[in-house]
Amino acid sequence: MCLGIPGQITAITDAARQMGLADVSGVKREVSLACVADRPLEDLVGEWVLIHVGFAMAVIDADEAARTLEALRALGEAQEALDQMAEGDRALAGGQA
């Protein structure tokens, strides 16, 4: 199942490509900010976004992010998605995570 999961933008990694680093419950992931780049990219640092398949799809507020994460955890969906993200990160790092 595909789902969107809240993450907080922590840094801009490549402004030319509109890429940023998101923290999704402790898992760091590079995501495209192209869909939410309606302001200077630096202004997105600290914002919560809804992430789907590597794209920040919408800016959401912190309360909505917390409620969504809690609901996903209760359903067990968030952990599955986080495990898959962490596994992908380990594979990209050559198994050193």
Look at residue 24 and tell me if it is in a domain. Answer: yes
Range of the domain at 68: 5-92
Query: How many domains does one find in the chain?
Result: 1
Burial of 6 (0-12, 13-18, 19+ CB in 10 A): buried
Q: Give the CATH number, domain containing residue 30.
A: 2.30.30.140
Return the pLDDT at 25.
85
Tens of pLDDT, residue by residue over 46-73, are 999 999 989 999 999 999 999 988 888 7
pTM of the model: 0.75
∠77-56-29 over CA atoms, to 5°?
Answer: 70
Look at residue 22 and tell me if it is in a domain. Answer: yes
Look at residue 97 and tell me if it is in a domain. Answer: no
Look at residue 45 and tell me if it is in a domain. Answer: yes
| Phi/psi of residue 56, nearest 5 degrees | -75, 110
Tens of pLDDT, residue by residue over 5-52, are 999 999 999 999 999 999 998 989 999 999 999 999 999 999 999 999
